[in-house]
Chain A
Amino acid sequence: MLDVSGLTTRYGAISALRDVSLHVDAGEVVGLIGPNGAGKTTLLGSIAGLLPPSEGTVTLDGTDVTAAPPERLLRSGLALVPEHRRIFVDLTVEENLKIGGVTVPAGERSALLDDVAEQFPVLRKKWTTSAGYLSGGEAQQLAIARALMSKPRVLMMDEPSLGLAPVLVDVVFELIDSLRDGGTTMLIVEQNATRMLEVADRAYVLRSGEIVTEGTGAELSERDDLFDTFVGGGSS
């Protein structure tokens, strides 16, 4: 469904990504793990239209969407839950969700809002609250629910468990699990490699801007040589 081929992104003279290729098939949950500074956020940003790549292509269901602006990508079915969530703190929970569904016709949007209220009881309780007052865990749920409002074909997430207490990390991964059961295709960047590999069908390991290895969740969990990836130390 999502095909990334030979992606290279530069910040001036520095190559943040070098010849990165990956693919995500329909219904899969694919993880992207690696140490800090490996370029995981840059990779999602390059796919999502925030950072234009210097070389390479991104294809969604056969359509070339390389360097397409974010608003066009969203309409093609690619949604991103950004790093640090980036919820609109001055808007209410409901307004955040509404803007997530801005590309959806009004009638359908109301129906989607009802669905979200049902699926995310935590958010339903805070429906008219200013989003800035949400706790970290609630904010993460809002960010994910907001991305779902656009009915994405591929949902990308950047570090969904970042900054959350262990109990809340469980909630996030349970959410990812149930989304997968519902058939949502996902590409997820995660620092928490161990948990990610438990829930992912496949995963890629990114280090210093390059894909160094890939495999199923199970295969990669066995690999001792990826220890520093799991511990999440600095880039090698």
Chain B
Amino acid sequence: MTELIQNLIDGLGRGSIYALLALGVAVIFGVMHLLNFAHGELITVSGYVSFWAIDSGWSWWLVAPTIVVVSILTSLLIERIAFSRVRGAGDFTLLLTSFGVHFVVSAIFLLYVSASVKNFSRPGWVANTYSVGSLNIEVFDTIVIVVTLVTLWGTSQLLQRTMFGLSLRAAAADFDTARLMGVRSNSVIRGAFALSGLLAGIAGVFWLMRAGNTQPSAGIDPMLKGVLAALIGGLGSLQGAVLGGFALGLAEVLLRSWLPDGIASLTEGVVFLLIALLFIFRPSGLVSVQHAERV
């Protein structure tokens, strides 16, 4: 029982980061029908910035907000350089463009920095645990979960209570009609990329704290988690993306503890298998988007 609860907390800790990544992917998909395979590059760039900052003696108290800012700026830069030029193009073109960005960013670090892994030190408290009864809980997991819940609440408030959030939701529902109302395409798309960057930044802080290193291909893993979780949750639903993230995190941890030792290293493979089964029986994901309709 104790082990189950600890696994649940661990799974929620992982799932929190995946949920933030998935939400970042879902926000852009909602507005532009673009599945952003370059989403992970925000963490690659943040990773290198962290490496250089920590190498120069910065404390993590400074590095963390820097990661968030870098993530937002990088996201906006990518929109300006790559995606703004293919605005209005077909879904496939957008997809290819995002792959292109992913390869270009990895290549830049490969060519101009180096192929080797860059390590940096993690904050001291990352490995700390505390006890609640018979449970041994990681400080890290606790903080990740709390910060994620606050972020999710904040994002929900942004979307539900501000005109910016309303514009995003309207544009996601019907872009052309939103423009007829006067919503500016540029504002809404850049806003979506900024929000996506913010979410990736927060996720990135924890991802990098846990990883303690970066390399040119660092973006692949977070991108996969984010995109998969968003798909599991059901593209088109922001709540679904968050749910998908938590589900993925829990699945990973629970499976690893349940699988017999011999094949525990195949956890990832089993997770993919389960995802495949999910899509066979429920192609639209966990949360199917249903529109209100008067019969």
Which residues of A does B touch, CB under 8 Å? 48, 50, 69-71, 74-75, 79-80, 82, 86, 88-91, 95, 98-100, 102-103, 106, 130-135, 146, 150
Q: Is the CB of B163 within 8 A of A102?
A: yes
The answer to whether B292 and A50 touch across the interface, beta carbons within 8 angstroms, is no
Point out the residue from B167, B176, B185, B291 that lies within 8 Å of A102, measured CB to CB: B167
B169 contacts partner chain A, Cβ-Cβ < 8 Å: yes
Alpha-carbon distance A235/B285, docked complex (angstroms): 45
CA distance A134 to B177 in the complex (A): 18
Contact B177 A98 (CB under 8 A): no
Is B293's CB under 8 angstroms from A99's CB?
no
A135 contacts B169, C-beta separation under 8 Å: no
User: Could you say which of B169, B184, B292 contacts A133, with CB atoms under 8 Å apart?
Assistant: B292
* B221 close to A (CB within 8 Å): no
Do B176 and A98 touch (CB < 8 A)?
Answer: no
Kindly identify which residue among A71, A86, A132, A133 contacts B174, using a CB–CB cutoff of 8 Å.
A86
Question: In whole angstroms, what is the CA distance A133 to B294 when docked?
Answer: 5
Interface size class of B (residues with CB under 8 A): 20 to 34
Shortest A148–chain B CB gap in Å is: 12
Q: Is the beta-carbon distance between B169 and A90 smaller than 8 angstroms?
A: yes
Residues in B neighbouring A98, C-beta threshold 8 A: 163, 166
Cβ of B111 within 8 Å of any chain A Cβ, yes or no, is no
CB neighbours of B176 from chain A (8 A): 50, 70, 86
Q: Give per-residue flags for B177-190: 1 if the beta carbon is below 8 A from chain A beta carbons, else 0.
A: 11111111100000
For this complex, 11 residue pairs linking A to B, each with C-beta atoms less than 8 Å apart, are A69-B185, A71-B183, A71-B184, A74-B180, A80-B180, A86-B177, A88-B169, A88-B173, A89-B292, A99-B183, A130-B292
Chain B residues positioned under 8 Å from A102 (CB to CB): 163, 166-167, 181-183
| Smallest beta-carbon distance B200→chain A, Å | 26
Residues from chain A with Cβ under 8 Å of B293 in the complex:
89, 132
Q: For residue A150, which residues in chain B have a CB less than 8 angstroms away from its CB?
A: 181-182
Q: Does B223 reach chain A (CB closer than 8 Å)?
A: no
Is A90 in contact with B291, judged by CB distance below 8 angstroms?
yes
Query: What's the minimum C-beta distance from A93 to chain B, rounded to whole angstroms?
Result: 12
Complex Cα spacing A80 to B178, Å:
11
> Which residue of A has the minimal Cβ distance to B180?
A70
Contacts of B183 in A (CB 8 A): 71, 99, 102
Contact A88 B294 (CB under 8 A): no
Hey, which chain B residues are within 8 Å of A71, CB to CB? 179, 182-185
Smallest distance from the beta carbon of A161 to chain B beta carbons, Å?
18
Q: Mark B21-33, 1 if CB is under 8 A from A, else 0.
A: 0000000000000
B292 and A146 contacting across the interface, CB-CB below 8 Å: no
CA distance A146 to B163 in the complex (A): 15
Contacts A80-B180, A150-B182 aside, 19 further interface pairs with beta carbons under 8 A come to A48-B180, A69-B179, A70-B180, A70-B182, A71-B179, A74-B181, A82-B177, A86-B176, A86-B180, A88-B169, A88-B177, A90-B292, A91-B173, A99-B166, A102-B182, A106-B163, A130-B292, A132-B294, A135-B294
Known contacts: A99-B166, A102-B167. The answer to whether A146 contacts B294 by CB under 8 A is: no
Chain B, range 115-150, C-beta contacts under 8 Å to A: none
> In the complex, what distance in Å separates the CA atom of A134 from the CA atom of B293?
8
Q: Is the CB of A89 within 8 A of B177?
A: no
**Alpha-carbon separation in the docked complex, A80 to B177 (Å):** 9
| Nearest-neighbor residue (CB-CB) of B186 within chain A | A71
B170 within 8 A of A: yes
Residues of A within 8 A of B170 (CB): 88, 91, 95, 99
Known contacts A98-B163, A99-B181, A103-B182: does B292 contact A88 (CB below 8 Å)?
no
Q: Tell me the complex Cα distance, A100–B163, Å.
A: 11
A133 to B291, CA, bound (A): 10
Cα-based distance from A48 to B228 in the complex (angstroms): 40
Interface residues of B in 36-82 (CB under 8 A from A): none
CB distance from A51 to the nearest CB of B (A): 11
Residues on B with C-beta less than 8 A from A75 are 182
Residues in B with CB closer than 8 Å to A50 are 176, 180
Contacts of B173 in A (CB 8 A): 88-91
Give CA–CA (A178, B190) in the complex, Å.
41
Would you call B181 and A146 a contact (CB within 8 A)?
yes
A91 and B185 alpha carbons, distance in the complex (Å): 19
The CA of A74 and the CA of B181, in the complex, are separated in Å by 7
Complex CA gap A90/B237 in Å reads: 12
Shortest beta-carbon distance, B60 to chain A, in Å?
A: 39
Chain B residues positioned under 8 Å from A80 (CB to CB): 180
Shortest C-beta distance, B187 to chain A (Å), equals 9
A50's nearest neighbour on chain B, judged by CB, is B176
Q: Are B180 and A82 in contact (CB under 8 A)?
A: yes
| Chain A hits for B167, CB < 8 A | 99, 102
Q: Report B184 CB to chain A, min CB distance, Å.
A: 5
